[in-house]
Chains A and B, each alone.
Chain A
Amino acid sequence: MTAAVKTKRRRPKSELGPPTNGNRTRIRARNEDKILDAALEVFADYGFKGATIDQIAARAGMSKPNLLYYFRRKRDLYVAVLERTLDMWLEPLSAIRADGDPAEEIRAYINRKLEFSKVRPTASRMFANEIIQGAPLLKTILHGGLRNIVDEKAAVIRGWAKAGKIADIDPYHLIFVIWAVTQHYADFASQVEAVVGGRLSDRKFFRETESAIDHILLRGILPTKRM
């Protein structure tokens, strides 16, 4: 904490600029992650307006000057948290391969998405909250990588449908359905819990949920002869 601030202040001029030392990069990445984890918790509890840099620094166990070295403004932190969530979600979508088995490719994507709802529910909830309120900052984030990846994978899915490997369904709406169903278990966790008393953190409930979703969605999109 304080040590890091001192190091930074004492940093000789020759060390400015992009880090060349692997160790320094790792420390930087670790500190950034720690800050973003803390920021996520604070934003989720208090919203963008209610959150303060002081609260986030305290939650991260870091001094405010040290935090400001990594992220200069609250707005930067907020954008970075949402971008990290989106990157996390898009990674398994990017991983879908046109030459793979459609059922296996889609199953892997669904299961990774559901896994995120289990391990990063707060990230999902904060993202949903921002989308619902139509936060202006979010538009910029969504215009980034999201559109390109979704267009690219929609083309892959359309190719599968044309080749008769999956049913003739609209690829964009299929992707929305997968997002909706998997994120529901994070965003609507309190509703699911109130109705059935199940949570994804419970291993048995997670397995049942995963298998029910896989079963319905895959059967929903595969040609009848495959089943």
Chain B
Amino acid sequence: MVWARQARRNGSKAAIREGNEKAILAAAEEVFADYGFAGATTSKIAEVAGIPKANLHYYFPTKEALYRQVIENIFNIWLAAAASFDDCDDPIEALTQYIHIKMDISRTHPKGSKVWANEIIQRAPMIQDYLETTLREWTASRVAVIEKWIAEGRLAPIEPRYLMYMIWATTQHYADFGHQISTLNNDRDLSEAQFAKAKDTVTQIILRGIGAIK
């Protein structure tokens, strides 16, 4: 929408292309989150993006291609969040940063998280290969870092995989179950202050839970 208009104003072909792709992907994320893969149509996505349907098909020939791109985008955002594992010397700081960034992503990209969750709930018909290759390898690489911290005596012995699942489950819950959380919050989305409290509580429970803070 906004992106498409901006790009048109900017003029250059590359900028137009980039703007259109961004507009389409943002619209696709929203439509897939609300209707699921089966319920979403490229007409609906084009409409939300404010782009003619023929143009959409020029950038993304099929609904499936578009869907995979949306999934890949949120996945890459999540992967980047765990770069703190390599960048921080201190395990506690690395994990704190990871949890904080994951929580922030749930706040800024709830729709992407929902598209991913829906796909997994439907038993990953479209991305099974992705899970068994990219996600598995990446998880193994993060687990290896945690095991190294434990071996060096810088983190209490825990089973790293369960820690990773716990971080994924809790942080993504604030995106995926947002409607339920709002209902319990007198039908209002969490305010900035409430969200900060959520972030702090989740971090506290997990870090205390693994013996990282007392």
Residues of A within 8 A of B (CB): 47, 49-50, 125, 128-129, 131-134, 138-139, 142-143, 146-147, 150, 167, 169-170, 172-174, 176-177, 179-181, 183-185, 187-192, 194-196, 208-209, 212-213, 215-221, 224
Residue of B nearest to A191 (CB): B120
Q: Contacting A184 at CB < 8 Å: which of B123, B135, B169, B184?
A: B169
Between A and B, 7 residue pairs with Cβ closer than 8 Å are A132-B179, A150-B184, A169-B205, A176-B181, A180-B173, A194-B135, A195-B161
| A47-B38, A128-B176, A184-B165 given; 13 more Cβ-contact pairs under 8 Å | A50-B38, A133-B35, A146-B183, A180-B169, A180-B173, A181-B170, A187-B117, A188-B120, A188-B169, A195-B136, A212-B162, A221-B208, A221-B209
Name the prevailing secondary structure of the B interface residues: helix
In the assembled complex, B88 has its CB within 8 A of some CB on chain A: no
Q: Contacting A224 at CB < 8 Å: which of B128, B162, B173, B214?
A: B214
In the assembled complex, B34 has its CB within 8 A of some CB on chain A: yes
Q: Are A173 and B162 interface neighbours, CB within 8 A?
A: no
* Distance in angstroms between the alpha carbons of A130 and B86 in the assembled complex: 37
Q: Are B210 and A177 interface neighbours, CB within 8 A?
A: no
Over the window 74-89 of chain B, the binary record of Cβ atoms lying under 8 Å from chain A Cβ atoms (1 yes, 0 no) is: 0000000000000000
- B139 to chain A: which residues have CB within 8 Å? 195
Q: Which has the most chain A C-beta neighbours within 10 Å: B172, B173, B214?
A: B173
Q: Are B184 and A187 interface neighbours, CB within 8 A?
A: no
Given contacts A146-B183, A216-B210, contact A194 B124 (CB under 8 A): yes
Interface stretch of the complex, out of B6-14, B16-24, B63-71, B194-202: B194-202
- B117 to chain A: which residues have CB within 8 Å? 128, 132, 187-188
Q: Contacting B173 at CB < 8 Å: which of A150, A176, A219?
A: A176
Q: Are A131 and B180 interface neighbours, CB within 8 A?
A: yes
Name the prevailing secondary structure of the A interface residues: helix
Given contacts A134-B179, A172-B184, A209-B162, contact A191 B205 (CB under 8 A): no
Over the window 103-147 of chain B, the binary record of Cβ atoms lying under 8 Å from chain A Cβ atoms (1 yes, 0 no) is: 000000000001001101101100010011001100100000000
Q: Are A142 and B180 interface neighbours, CB within 8 A?
A: yes
* Distance in angstroms between the alpha carbons of A170 and B181 in the assembled complex: 14
In the assembled complex, B151 has its CB within 8 A of some CB on chain A: no
In the assembled complex, B168 has its CB within 8 A of some CB on chain A: yes
Q: Are B136 and A194 interface neighbours, CB within 8 A?
A: yes
In the assembled complex, B54 has its CB within 8 A of some CB on chain A: no
Q: Contacting B197 at CB < 8 Å: which of A170, A188, A212?
A: A170
Q: Are B179 and A180 interface neighbours, CB within 8 A?
A: no
Residue of A nearest to B128 (CB): A194
* Distance in angstroms between the alpha carbons of A5 and B206 in the assembled complex: 55
Q: Are A181 and B166 interface neighbours, CB within 8 A?
A: yes
Q: Are A190 and B123 interface neighbours, CB within 8 A?
A: yes
Q: Are A180 and B38 interface neighbours, CB within 8 A?
A: no
- A180 to chain B: which residues have CB within 8 Å? 169-170, 172-173, 177
Q: Contacting B166 at CB < 8 Å: which of A176, A213, A218?
A: A213
* Distance in angstroms between the alpha carbons of A169 and B202 in the assembled complex: 9
Q: Which has the most chain A C-beta neighbours within 10 Å: B132, B174, B183?
A: B183
- A147 to chain B: which residues have CB within 8 Å? 183-184
- 3 pairs of A and B residues whose beta carbons are closest in the complex: A220-B209, A180-B173, A184-B169
* Distance in angstroms between the alpha carbons of A132 and B168 in the assembled complex: 16
Given contacts A143-B183, A173-B197, A190-B124, contact A213 B205 (CB under 8 A): no
